[in-house]
Structure 1
Amino acid sequence: MISRSRRDVLASLSLAAAAVPLLGFSPVATANKSPKTILPPRLKPGDTVGLICPAGAAFSKETVQITKESMEALGLKVKLGKHVFDRMGSLAGTDQARAADVNAMFADKSVQGILAIHGGWGCARLLPLLDYKTIQKNPKPLIGYSDITALLNAIYAKTGLVTFHGPVGSATWNKFSVDSFKQVLFDAAAATFENPKEIGDNLTITKDRITTITPGTARGTLVGGNLTVLTAIIGSDYLPTWKDSILFLEDTNEKVYRVDRMLTQLKLAGVLDQVKGVVFGKCTDCGPGGGYGSLTLEEVLEQHLQPLKVPVYSGAMIGHISHKFTTPVGVEAEIDATAGTIRLLNSAVV
């Protein structure tokens, strides 16, 4: 969940990014042309996964223990980051300590994958402190969502390493999420992501429906993640190129006017004009709120995304939800906005 303090920080960063054109720079112009794509090795039983807290603190030792047991149930071994239990306010220690854990896990030859235990806020503070050369020389899967979006996109942009918007350690490791996780990271499948179609005792599907905003199919490179986090680092060189991309987005606990504001920022920064398609996942607890009227989330998405005249759909199992896809950042994919599917054109691991 995005706390008020985190939102205030993100808002200040967004204002700073918005000021970049006044200095004579274009936010889009600072976006990287991504290096050659690097696929990390697949995970296999017996591999070791490093657990890190690059953002929010691990307030509960029980949560860390549950994460450890969940990884072990997948047949994996676990190595805790040196600073997992550090704390500085809401953060899991200083920026230097949290960045050190990221760098150490990539450098550690005994570690085959890296999983964030929590999101929260703080990953963007680490971006100048990461050792991108070491990361590039030691490719391995990095998995997480929400605030981990900053790490996922920065590492892909700087190194070409494919990263994974998927469960954090403290997430619910249910069958749906585990099946997607294993399909992508263990089985090396060119997976197709499709929402469940359980009717139950209803006459039609009432849960986890997809909504086609603009029909059609499109191919491009999957990039994206949490909308708030992405907009907070627009104008930096820690984001990949948007050209010919399939942009996927999610968020939580944001009023509709804030979603409107952030999509407006993506439009003004030139991001939306470059994409081949958009998948808007779940915006959990993003109601209109009180006050004198409000646009609905559906209206905001239609107003911003229909004029792009590219395939767009919403409702994908991406976001702050218990059942989620493990979605690669940096892999070529095809979306079908009518069927509501994302199909990887190749494996995301080797």
Structure 2
Amino acid sequence: MALPARLPAAATSRAKPPRLRTGDRVALVAPAGFYADQLDFQLVTEAMVAMGLVPVPQPHWKDRFGYLAGTDKNRAADLNAAFADRSVNAVMALRGGWGSQRMLPYLNWATIRANPKLLVGFSDITALHLAIQARAGFPTIHGPTAGSSWSKYSYAAFRDLAFDGKLPLYRNPIAEQDRLVQRQGRTQTLRPGKASGKLLGGNLTVLTSLVGTPWLPDFSGAILFLEDTDEAPYRIDRMLTQIGQAGILRRVAGVVFGQCTNCKPSDGSTSLFTLDEVLAQHLTPLGVPVYTGAMFGHIDNQFSLPVGCRAEIDADAGTIRLLEAPVA
């Protein structure tokens, strides 16, 4: 696979994307895994219409190249076209999977930088969120992909940011289990205190894969937020060890670890480190506020987090307060 001879410049823009309004056109792209089911795609377009938006599928969304939605160059071409198209107001990824990182060298960073638009998605889309922070500098939204279930909770959180430019306080909603003591939706404080900084992060696996590449932003003073899915605790241990030894963890002002869905020992053993033990080993010694269990990641009801915007966390209360809107 031939790559461009020169890497893009790292200049960034302070401009913010415009907020979404009813009737806006939103490009649908598939930067990672393929999206083959026509009924699922129909549900996506119906969800966009229910939001008052006009879905604009990009040409290669139906392509398939192994487990990818077309070749790296074609997937990148769709994203480049979406940012270049002045009639398109935002860009939504259809799904995650794997592959966004592969196309980063083929993106037209000058065009993306000159046309700030909300990019929305999570999981593998972390590669795009972080690369945009490193190469363009405008906010994006770590939230549901276009193909997510879009619960009422998730949509309300997304609308607060993308349409209304609000500054919400995110706190896990109180569970309503038939128990004297609620278990669902709990947060755990690993190190107390408050901290503020730019929100940077996303999927831990994807972030780790970007270490040593030119696609990571500076994490100095940042609020690092992390999530993952289907990873055994020893793998989380390995990845936190890597980003720790790469110097990322010691630069941050605070950490929020969201949901790690189905992150259990692969052999079902109870004699190994638990996920909680792994997180405590790596995050507590940092000397900054840390809490876990926030509602973002591979779950139906999730916060929308504006990557690149300032926020304050309260590790005792288990909250994230946005201090800056992602839209103009």
Q: CA deviation at 1:224?
A: 0.2
Structure 1 runs (4+) deviating above 4 angstroms are none
Say which of 26, 43, 62 aligns to 1:49.
Answer: 26
Q: Where do 5+ consecutive residues of structure 1 fail to align? A: 1-31
The residue type paired with residue 236 of structure 1 is: T
Equivalence for 1:212: 189
- The answer on 1:273 being equivalent to 2:250 is yes
Equivalence for 1:312: 290
Question: Deviation digits for residues 52-96 of structure 1, max 9, x if unmatched?
Answer: 100000121111111110010000011001000000011000000
What SS is found at the alignment partner of 1:323?
A: coil
Q: CA deviation at 1:200?
A: 4.0
Task: Kindly report which structure 2 residues correspond to 1:132-211, keeping only aligned pairs within 5 A, or say none.
Answer: 132-211=109-188
CA gap of 1:33–1:275, structure 2 versus 1, over 3 A, is farther
Distance in 2, Cα, partners of 1:34 & 1:94: 27
Question: Deviation digits for residues 276-327 of structure 1, max 9, x if unmatched?
Answer: 0000000000012325831000000000000001000011111011111111
Distance in 2, Cα, partners of 1:309 & 1:200: 34
Aligned-CA RMSD value: 1.3
Distance in 1, Cα, partners of 2:304 & 2:238: 27
Q: Where do 5+ consecutive residues of structure 2 fail to align? A: 1-8
The residue type paired with residue 40 of structure 1 is: P
- The answer on 1:263 being equivalent to 2:271 is no
Distance in 2, Cα, partners of 1:53 & 1:247: 26
Q: CA deviation at 1:202?
A: 2.3
Distance in 2, Cα, partners of 1:34 & 1:299: 40
- The question of whether the paired residues in 1 share the 8 Å contact of 2:12 and 2:113 is answered with no
Greater percentage in helix: 1
Q: CA deviation at 1:136?
A: 1.1
- The question of whether the paired residues in 2 share the 8 Å contact of 1:34 and 1:240 is answered with no
Equivalence for 2:228: 251
Tell me the number of residue pairs that the alignment of Structure 1 and Structure 2 aligns: 319
Equivalence for 1:22: none
The residue type paired with residue 321 of structure 2 is: R
The residue type paired with residue 278 of structure 1 is: V
The residue type paired with residue 293 of structure 1 is: S
Equivalence for 1:21: none
- TM-score, structure 2 normalization: 0.95
Distance in 2, Cα, partners of 1:104 & 1:33: 21
Q: CA deviation at 1:241?
A: 0.2
Question: Deviation digits for residues 179-229 of structure 1, max 9, x if unmatched?
Answer: 100001111001211111133432232211111111110011000000000
Q: Percent identity?
A: 50
Equivalence for 1:93: 70
CA gap of 1:155–1:131, structure 2 versus 1, over 3 A, is same
- The question of whether the paired residues in 1 share the 8 Å contact of 2:73 and 2:103 is answered with yes
- The answer on 1:74 being equivalent to 2:46 is no
Task: Kindly report which structure 2 residues correspond to 1:284-299, keeping only aligned pairs within 5 A, or say none.
Answer: 284-290=261-267, 293-299=271-277
What SS is found at the alignment partner of 1:187?
A: coil
